[in-house]
Amino acid sequence: MRFVDEFRDPELAGVLGAEITALCEPGREYKIMEVCGGHTHTIYRYGVQDHLPDNIELVHGPGCPVCVIPMGRVDDGVAIAQRDDVILTCFGDMMRIPGGNGSFLDANAAGADIRMVYSPLDALRIARQNPDKQVVFYAIGFETTAPSTALTILRAKQEGITNFSIFCNHVTIIPAIKAILDSPDLRLDAFLGPGHVSTVIGCRPYDFIARQHGKPLVCAGFEPLDLLQSVYMIMKQFKEGRAEVENQYGRVVDWDGNPRALAVMNDVFALRPYFEWRGLGSIAHSALQLSSRYADFDAELRFEVPGVRVADPKACQCGEVLKGVLKPWECKVFGTACTPETPIGTCMVSSEGACAAYYNYGQYAKQRIHLEV
């Protein structure tokens, strides 16, 4: 397939792996965090780690949007969906995320009208088709997704649609990276930057990682060779004593991002003072809410929600997995009580979640044997 096969060539992967190995300093360990859940998915689907030497460890970051949704926000969504006059719409991955009172799928089975959509624009179409209902879009995602929600709000306002609102859970990547850099639990050497988030925000917002923390970051694409080339670029920086922000994904990511998307986001959204992230806790200015100009479309103002903080199940160690402190198979319930069919934690639900990626591609079996030795 054009534009895909070029980036999945096993021979080239072998060549890149050898060049990466040649750049390693003997006896030194390298910990590189892939911030994005999409990268985690690629790494385990295509066995990218198998092309890297043992002293390079890829650490999974918090960049799976449904994985960082706290249970209380799921309960808020369920409470809205249980109203007779509401149709709640959401992305597919959100349906099985467990809340304190069950998932959206459970609520749907109990009679709530909850529908999966491909785009927030589909939710707006449902609102047009059901003028006697309140249609709510449960918005999640990083800066890749937030412009789509913002554009939908603009269209709703332009068309004068009054039975549409969003329950906004959009989060921003930079505060999460800062929280990880400030965490005492983890020592990281470098980052693989989230490719499609960077399409919107560009590469400049990562400058502080290189300048203030002295760590390289390379914005990476999502094919196996993209990731290997990005690791090569990081290792080359180490070899040459540099710590810079580089862009491997130049065929998609502009250094300054997408100014139109940023302008739309700035118009429609405002930063929340605080937002709770599963695993990372409450982080200042890390999430978006509708700005006062678009308050009419804010489901949190239109409907009464519990707004209660719900503690994660004790057995679940998603928090440690999201921070990269634990590998998925080190969680006590991984693959036993917690599976993709019956997830306890969010990381086992989404295909981008580290636990689901390990579980589905069989890497956990090899790693368990390795641990027991």
Partner 1 sequence: MTTQDHCSVTEGCITCGDIAVPLTVVSMVDMDARCRDEQGREELVAVELVGALAPGDRVLVHAGVAIERLTKDLQTSQSTRSGE
Residues within the interface to partner 1 (CB under 8 A) = 1-4, 6, 36-39, 41, 45, 63-66, 91-94, 116-122, 140-142, 144-145, 147-148, 151, 155, 194-197, 199-200, 203, 207, 210, 222, 229, 233, 244-248, 250-255, 258, 260-261, 264, 340, 350-352, 356, 360
Answer yes or no: are the C-beta atoms of 231 and 224 closer than 8 Å: no
Chain centroid to Cα 174, Å, comes to 12
Taking the complex as a whole, how short is the minimal distance between the CB of residue 33 and partner 1, in angstroms? 14
Coil, strand, or helix at residue 93?
Answer: helix
Complete DSSP assignment for 206-259: GHHHHHTT---EEEE-SSHHHHHHHHHHHHHHHHTT---EEES-TTT--TT--H
Cβ closer to partner 1: 246 or 312?
246
Cβ 145 to partner 1, closest distance in Å? 6
Residue 350 CB, nearest approach to partner 1 (Å): 6
Residue 286 is classified by DSSP as: -
Using the minimum distance from each CB to partner 1, give the nearer residue, 27 or 160.
160
Query: 2 or 370: whose CB is closer to partner 1?
Result: 2
Query: Residue 147 or residue 324: which is nearer to partner 1 going by CB?
Result: 147
Please say which residue, 25 or 159, places its beta carbon nearer to partner 1.
Answer: 159
- We find the least distance from the C-beta atom of residue 54 to partner 1, in angstroms, to be 26
Query: Residue 161: CA atoms inside 13 Å, Cβ hemisphere, count?
Result: 27
Q: Between 83 and 157, whose beta carbon lies closer to partner 1?
A: 157
Nearer to partner 1, 144 or 286 (CB): 144
Q: Which residues contact 138 (CB under 8 A, 6 or more apart)?
A: 77, 88, 89, 90, 91, 94, 104, 166, 167, 169
In 3D space, the residue among 210, 180, 138 whose CA is nearest the CA of residue 36 turns out to be 180
- Give 176's DSSP letter: H
Residue among 151 and 190 whose Cβ is closer to partner 1: 151
- What is the distance in angstroms between the CA of the first residue and the CA of the last residue of the chain? 41
Non-local (6+) Cβ contacts of 212 within 8 A are none
Q: How far is the CB of 304 from partner 1 (least distance, A)?
A: 28
The CB-of-229 to partner 1 minimum distance in angstroms stands at: 8
User: Taking phi first (over 0 means left), then psi (-120 to 50 degrees means alpha), and beta for anything else, what does residue 113 get?
Assistant: beta
Least gap, CB of 243 to partner 1 (angstroms): 10
Please check whether residue 87 is in contact with residue 131, taking contact to mean a CB–CB distance below 8 angstroms. no
For the CB of residue 305, give the shortest distance to partner 1 in the complex, in Å. Answer: 22
